[in-house]
Amino acid sequence: MDTEFIAVNTIPAVMIPLIFLQILFIGGALGEEFGWRGFALDRLFKLYSQFTATLILGIIWSIWHLPLFFMDGTVQSNMPIWQFIIQNTMIAFYYTLVYKRTKKNMILMIFLHAAANTAAAVVPYWQSDLGRYIGFTVLLIGLVIIIVSDWIKSDSEIEFTGLTMIIENES
């Protein structure tokens, strides 16, 4: 297992807004979000529970990125496909949370996507196994906290990222 972070050149702070704009307009955020959240997710909600719809979208969203695994210099070319699919699918649940809680605000979704991709460019945790496992753990802990906090609030229903899963009360 690769446990060392790869040394990277520090990106000057003045470059971060430029990276953000490049990712926003050219790097996928603008076009992808209209397709993923603005089109596909709403249609999946009509066919499936919100949890299942998000799970399906997360997997499809991950598969969409498969060509990037064969292009040197991309995030995906630096990690195993299975790790990307799991991580990206987990991120889809966070995106659904924001999408539902902002009443489907596409501008915020586009900026969230661009900000997340910019953060990955500025802090390339994904370049090592250790970095990816830390990232995965943070995502997983966050999802568990959301599930448990919503469960405690409702006592019999978990509203997870706007995704409703009914739990039987054992009382």
In angstroms, the Cα distances linking 41 to 32, 34, 37, 112, 135 are 12, 10, 5, 16, 25
Domain boundaries, the chain: 13-143
Q: Token match 């064969």: residue?
A: 70
Beta-strand ranges (E) seen in 8-160 are 157-160
Q: What is the pTM of this model?
A: 0.80
Angle between helices 81-101 and 106-122 (to 10 degrees): 140
pLDDT tens-place values along the chain, 171 residues long: 555 555 455 788 899 999 999 999 998 899 899 999 999 999 999 999 888 999 999 999 999 999 999 999 888 888 899 999 999 999 999 999 999 989 999 999 999 999 999 988 888 888 888 888 998 999 999 988 887 776 666 554 444 444 444 433 333
**Which amino acid appears at position 123 of this protein?**
V
